[in-house]
């Protein structure tokens, strides 16, 4: 099943985000290589693809896992969680309808 992983950034976490971004993206790339990633991306803090020092407010990941527990475990070990970039994460089942 698909699961939505929504991460909310901690205050002043841009530097930590940039430091561990490569490790975070590598995990997403692995999901993509396995055909299990529907989409992923950050929420810019301002209306721009490159928010600069304004940074980000969080991220959205929609990926396929065998169970809610597997999705939660994957989310809990994300480099952004471990580095304190995310202040909060939520994981919810998702039913893709369109496109």
d(CA 56, CA 44): 4
The answer to whether 38 and 92 have CB atoms below 8 angstroms apart is no
Q: pLDDT tens for residues 19-47?
A: 999 999 999 999 999 999 999 999 999 99
- Residue 91 confidence class, pLDDT cut points 50, 70, 90: very high
In order of 46, 59, 75, 97, 98, the CA distances from 69 in angstroms are 33, 20, 10, 23, 25
Does the residue 65 lie in any domain? yes
d(CA 2, CA 63): 5
Number of independent structural domains in the chain: 1
pTM to 2 decimal places: 0.95
Domain membership of residue 90 as a residue range: 2-94
Q: What CATH number did the domain enclosing 62 receive?
A: 3.30.70.1060
- Token couple for 62: 């929609």
Does the residue 99 lie in any domain? no
Does the residue 14 lie in any domain? yes
Q: pLDDT tens for residues 46-89?
A: 999 999 999 999 999 999 999 999 999 999 999 999 999 999 99
């Amino acid at each position: 099943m698909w699961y939505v992983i929504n991460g909310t950034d901690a205050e002043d976490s841009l530097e930590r985000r940039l430091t561990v971004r490569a490790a975070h993206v590598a995990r997403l790339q692995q999901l993509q290589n396995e055909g299990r990633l529907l989409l992923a991306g950050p929420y810019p803090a301002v209306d721009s693809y490159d928010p600069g020092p304004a940074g980000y407010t969080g991220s959205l990941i929609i990926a396929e896992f065998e169970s809610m527990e597997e999705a939660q475990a994957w989310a809990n070990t994300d480099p952004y969680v471990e580095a304190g970039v995310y202040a909060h994460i939520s994981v919810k089942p998702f039913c893709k309808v369109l496109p």
